[in-house]
Amino acid sequence: MKLKTAKKTRSKIKKSNQLELTFLENPKNKKNEDQNFSINNTINSISRIFLSSLIIVSFFYITPIIINFAEKNFYTKEFTNNSKKILAYTLNKENQNTEESEILKEEDLLLDIFSLNNLESDSVRLSASTIKQLFKETDYNLKDVRKTKLVKPVALTLLPQEIKMIENSKKKKEFFIQIVLPLIIKENNNIRLDRKTLFSIINKSNNSDAEKKWLVKKYKQYGVSSRDLSTLKIRMDEIPVSLAIAQAAKETGWGTSRFARFQNNFFGLWCFTDGCGVKPRRAEPGARHQVAAFETVQGGVAYYLLTLNSHPAYKDLRVLRSQLRSTGTPVSGHLLAEGLMRYSERGQDYVEEIRAMIRINHLDAL
């Protein structure tokens, strides 16, 4: 009996030793597993960081290539204006019953503008490289314009033909804006001076013969057959440069259209007076309209401003502008774009596109 007991005790001791060995080995194995797990995590993290960095770098490297490819293959064709060209002043019998009960005569309304075509001009079409050098020498750049709101008086008479060949989209846009901006400002300054003269006349109890003749001329120019001073005051006002640039860019494909380069027509507007322009290639049989042509780009810009300021289709634009003036609210291109619902058959979509162009290209800062 004693021998059996001793044997059992020895067996228990052996099992206990085995358990001790087992427990002693477990912490070491666990430590190794933790180290392996940590190493794997580190490797995975480095791999993810490397892969993410590679994707980001690839994105910024490939995106400009794709954009330039698209510009070169899909957008360098001559721009096709899909907007409905609302004639500055139609002579069609169907449209003679115009808003505001006025009889509009294109010859009277556009007399000053068409007379620019008859003046002897020493207009020279400068090359794009020459114009760029001129801008550089005069220190004229859009970055400074956005900061100081001052524009160099660099007024060109003709659009360079090479603008269509500029492949870099950003450079083409900036170049086009630099060309058009001084022209718009010049016409707005002319309107501002006329408006100052008008207010001076309104505030007088008696007007001189010269002032009366000036008023008669402006009534005709702005299509105010009723000779109402309040109507003339609403019409004789500036157009925001941001709105004008956005529309010029939209209607000409940033200066690349045939009518912009050869007819100096930046806004796709028509005329009906014989000899006022050129017949569109795809004109319908019996169509009387022509695409207005000008000897200089200045005439085309003046035509556009006068159109918005006097055509019945843009009465809402003028009313909105007048309301903004009366409340002291800045007249921005973004706000005034709402009055262009009838400029295109696309209506509100066209308005939103113009607003998007103003926003994306930071035109309201000019």
46 and 160 inside one domain: no
**What is residue 284's predicted lDDT score, i.e. its pLDDT?**
74
Tell me the pLDDT of the chain averaged across its residues: 78
Q: Report pLDDT digits (tens) over 177-209.
A: 999 999 999 999 999 999 999 999 999 989 999
Segment 65-74 mean pLDDT = 53
Which residue would you say has higher pLDDT here, 163 or 112? 163
Last residue of one domain, picked from the residues 50, 74, 98: 74
Cα end-to-end distance, the chain, whole Å: 112
Residue 296 has pLDDT above 80, yes or no: yes
48 and 141 inside one domain: no
214 and 91 inside one domain: yes
The number of folded domains in the chain is 2
Query: Element (H or E) spanning 46, and its range?
Result: helix 2-74
Q: What is the amino acid identity at position 114?
A: F
**What is residue 302's predicted lDDT score, i.e. its pLDDT?**
92
Last residue of one domain, picked from the residues 33, 59, 74: 74
Residue 14 has pLDDT above 50, yes or no: no
159 and 272 inside one domain: yes
Segment 347-360 mean pLDDT = 96
Least Cα distance to 361 among 145, 238, 152, 177 occurs for 177
Collapse the DSSP code of 149 into the 3-class scheme (helix H, G, I; strand E, B; otherwise coil) and give the result: coil
Last residue of one domain, picked from the residues 17, 43, 74: 74
- With contact defined as beta carbons under 8 Å apart, do 236 and 310 qualify? no
67 and 111 inside one domain: no
**What is residue 155's predicted lDDT score, i.e. its pLDDT?**
77
61 and 88 inside one domain: no
257 and 170 inside one domain: yes
Q: Which domain holds residue 257?
A: 81-365
* Low-confidence winner among 15-19, 238-242, 282-286, 302-306 (lowest mean pLDDT): 15-19
Model confidence pTM above 0.85:
no
**What is residue 18's predicted lDDT score, i.e. its pLDDT?**
47
